[in-house]
Amino acid sequence: MKYLIAGLGNPGHEYELTRHNIGFLVLDRLADVHQAPFSTGRLVDKTELKYKGRQIHLIKPNTYMNLSGKAIAYWLQELKIPKENLLIIVDDLALPFGTLRLRTKGSSAGHNGLKNIELVLGGQDYARLRFGIGNAYAKGQQVDFVLSNFLPQEFEALPTFMDKASEMIFSFCTTGAERTMAQFNQ
């Protein structure tokens, strides 16, 4: 069984540790723990690991957040992975910092990366792991907030939440979305 796990973010050093890049950060941590270094491929940085008989492909689109769908569609087709074996890791303003929530479908909730994926894949029926980044910003400052770095206390807590996200990724790949949601959703 093959799975495609896509972490959303923006390429470039200036975005590296921003809230909007939590998808990249989760996959970086997962790859580091499993000693699976990323290499550059078409439209993405990618790596692969094996877990309990599953072949798990991790990709970080380098198309920038708002055009993530192109890279994801390409790799789904290239690797011949069905859409039900796709999981998107994405930041979510509507969830408190560190809250993790898996969904098998749903709206983009205004997230431009998810909007593009919906457009390219032709619908909202794909799994996404929403990683809460909080919403401590003043009116009209949403863009500045998502493109800002985590606060020191948040940064200190991130590894614990990223490890839980990794557990959820492996659960998704081994026991499926429904059981993962029942076990992990807060």
pLDDT digits (tens, 9 = 90+) for 29-69: 999 999 999 999 999 999 999 999 999 999 999 999 999 99
Strands (E), 86-144: 86-92, 100-103, 127-132
In the sheet that holds 39-41, the strands lie side by side as 39-41, 44-51, 54-61, 2-7, 86-92, 127-132, 100-103
Mean pLDDT for the stretch of residues 158-183:
98
Q: Looking at the domain 2-184, which fold is it?
A: Rossmann fold (3.40.50)
pLDDT at res. 110: 87
The overall average pLDDT reported for the chain is 96
**Calpha distance 30→119 (Å, rounded):** 28
Q: Contact, 127 vs 86, CB < 8 A? A: yes
pLDDT at res. 186: 67
Tokens for 92, please give them: 């979510």
User: What band does 1 get if pLDDT is binned at 50, 70 and 90?
Assistant: very high
Domain ranges for the chain: 2-184
| pTM for this entry | 0.96
Which residues have a catalytic role annotated? 20
Amino acid occupying residue 13: H
Per-residue pLDDT tens over the stretch 108-130: 988 999 999 999 999 999 999 99
Residue 82 φ/ψ, nearest 5 degrees: -70, 150
Question: Is the per-residue pLDDT at 90 higher than 70?
Answer: yes
Residue 62, Cβ neighbours under 10 Å: how many? 20
Residue 100's SS3 state is strand
Give me the percent of the chain exceeding a pLDDT of 90: 92
pLDDT at res. 41: 95
Q: DSSP state, 18?
A: B
pLDDT at res. 138: 85
User: What band does 151 get if pLDDT is binned at 50, 70 and 90?
Assistant: very high
